[in-house]
Structure 1
């Protein structure tokens, strides 16, 4: 019998895209999707080449002790945990998302720990675990610790999740564990806070700061997940923790010009107030840690990924943003006019911008 892959978080865009990809892989016989609601995408239909692994959806809340039964029933050997969310889905409350991220992961790991069939665990995480602070190093690698641990929100959830995963790895050293720390995922269909932010007609920014940013395209995110789940190289089991980001760095001001979006520099308290209002009205789900990232920026080293996976993301940071720009269309102003406008604003600001 071939691989049986269990995927959590299939209701979201990344989860459903990963299911569509993993079903096409040779050696995969069955994919089991687990979530509190099914995907809005078609995960059941066939494809032209006729090679498609079976798919079954299990309506289950991973916060409940139900995963052990699912693992046993389908004899799952690979678990891909994508239900670690950085944003709220629909009308879901922040407390519900936190419970799913943390309590759900604990329940999942408890089930996997008892399973005799599971051989591999892949966990989606985020580079937000490094935080964003004024005195951060220029580039984070996987061994570095943040100057200041995230104190709340989704970044803190990710820190807790990774802690539980490390504990699981010590208890089950026979299971290959891979943690993928994704930079901000962007793309035509990505359902991420930064995608929503860049879709705004005008971008509020923090006065005096121009942070360095990295992006990973949704296509590359799916491909790295595929490699982690089904294609470990001979020299390694692709176990460990890996930063995932496109090559290169963009300043927020550069990103705005490429998108044709005018920026509105505001004092930090005003930007925080606008972000809080957007969250309350569900116009935009932008958390405090995202605000810190748009103030101080964050850049990570991806050498560990390239060396162990033998993979370099097909989209650089700039190319990933360009693809997003094509899908969102032109902003309120032509890019050339935005460039002139933002350059004029830059001339009026202090020379010490405080960002990196």
Structure 2
């Protein structure tokens, strides 16, 4: 086998806009191998790309073939994409297989993308939630159990196998061009639902800034758990106004009513399992990440909302 010219990095979730932004930032310095559970994505002739189930034996063949130096795991499947069982198999069992193979083949750096949703949304959340706060999302909804279990799994490997140098990132709402998550769909729509009597404070990070944060955390190689969020925030209803959305008020009590209306009106962009996040503020403290990695966002909120407003014109 010939000596590798560049370090080789495995990036999961390659079909997603965030992974593609990360790949674009790393491709000149690293040999990239892209994989995705959902579909195969052509990136360029010099980047091998695979649609692969992490739980299948062929996944291990990639570790043998490419001798990865690092892994950036961005392939967490959201609740809107798959059934609960398929999501669990991919997010939890698939991630466990990925971490086992990383340990087996001597990987020296692993990034795991999580989400601020793991903290849960309730009326008793502190004003700023730091990384030591308990992960309460699994108590509130079954649809976020796999997100919490993925985090717990990464935590186990973080402390058990220090040689993997695992960094777990918990970003706030990632938005911007190409992002297809719940909040981006809401900001993109001409009419967005709001719960009467509620307008929680929210944080938003531009996809470009999040890609920068991932690259920075990979290259600086400091293990641990970090929130990733800017130091400013805005209420949900104000975010809609700034994005040029008109509001569609839904009654908020009893809790079954907004769930029923969202389903009846086919509001797929307002999933029932996230309703509490549109009632209660979940504001995370990103200062530890900013200080440790020297990170500062470059795209302010006004730029984020201007993008969504201009989409509608």
Establish whether TM, by shorter chain, passes 0.5.
yes
Is 1:254–2:255 an aligned residue pair? no
Paired position in structure 2 for 1:296: 280
Tell me the distance in 2 between the aligned counterparts of 1:129 and 1:317.
23
Is 1:135–2:124 an aligned residue pair? yes
Is 1:270–2:270 an aligned residue pair? no
1:207–1:312 CA distance, 2 compared to 1 (3 A): same
Unaligned runs of 5+ in 1: 46-53, 331-356
Runs of 4+ in 1 over 6 A off after TM superposition: none
Q: CA deviation at 1:257?
A: 1.5
Q: CA deviation at 1:184?
A: 0.9
Is 1:175–2:167 an aligned residue pair? no
Paired position in structure 1 for 2:109: 120
1:68–1:141 CA distance, 2 compared to 1 (3 A): same
1:7–1:277 CA distance, 2 compared to 1 (3 A): farther
Tell me the distance in 2 between the aligned counterparts of 1:276 and 1:94.
18
Q: CA deviation at 1:208?
A: 1.0
Name which of 37, 60, 72 aligns with 2:52.
60
SS of residue paired to 1:174: helix
Q: CA deviation at 1:83?
A: 0.9
Name which of 172, 186, 201 aligns with 1:212.
201
Q: CA deviation at 1:19?
A: 1.8
Is 1:310–2:259 an aligned residue pair? no
Q: CA deviation at 1:103?
A: 1.5
2:87/2:146 contact within 8 Å kept: no
Tell me the distance in 2 between the aligned counterparts of 1:78 and 1:154.
30
Tell me the distance in 1 between the aligned counterparts of 2:13 and 2:261.
30
1:8/1:83 contact within 8 Å kept: yes
Alignment of 1:272-351 (within 5 A): 272-277=259-264, 284-326=268-310, 328-330=311-313
1:156–1:325 CA distance, 2 compared to 1 (3 A): farther
Paired position in structure 1 for 2:40: 38
Paired position in structure 2 for 1:337: none
What do the CA deviations read for 1:251-290 (whole angstroms, capped 9, x no partner)?
Answer: 1121121122221222123322233346xx6x63543342
1:196/1:284 contact within 8 Å kept: no
Provide the TM-score with structure 2 as the length reference. Answer: 0.90
Q: CA deviation at 1:324?
A: 2.7
Tell me the distance in 2 between the aligned counterparts of 1:274 and 1:293.
17
1:87/1:285 contact within 8 Å kept: no
Q: CA deviation at 1:228?
A: 1.8
2:70/2:110 contact within 8 Å kept: yes
Tell me the distance in 2 between the aligned counterparts of 1:156 and 1:194.
20
The count of residues paired between Structure 1 and Structure 2 equals 305
Paired position in structure 2 for 1:69: 61
Unaligned runs of 5+ in 2: none
Tell me the distance in 2 between the aligned counterparts of 1:31 and 1:225.
15
Name which of 10, 18, 24 aligns with 1:6.
10
Provide the TM-score with structure 1 as the length reference. Answer: 0.80
1:319–1:288 CA distance, 2 compared to 1 (3 A): same
Tell me the distance in 2 between the aligned counterparts of 1:148 and 1:63.
26
Does 304-313 or 288-297 show the bigger shift?
288-297
1:271–1:127 CA distance, 2 compared to 1 (3 A): same
Q: CA deviation at 1:301?
A: 0.8
Aligned-residue CA RMSD (Å): 2.1
1:249/1:318 contact within 8 Å kept: no
1:4/1:77 contact within 8 Å kept: yes
What do the CA deviations read for 1:289-342 (whole angstroms, capped 9, x no partner)?
Answer: 42211111211111011111101111234432333323x224xxxxxxxxxxxx
1:13–1:266 CA distance, 2 compared to 1 (3 A): same
Paired position in structure 2 for 1:16: 20
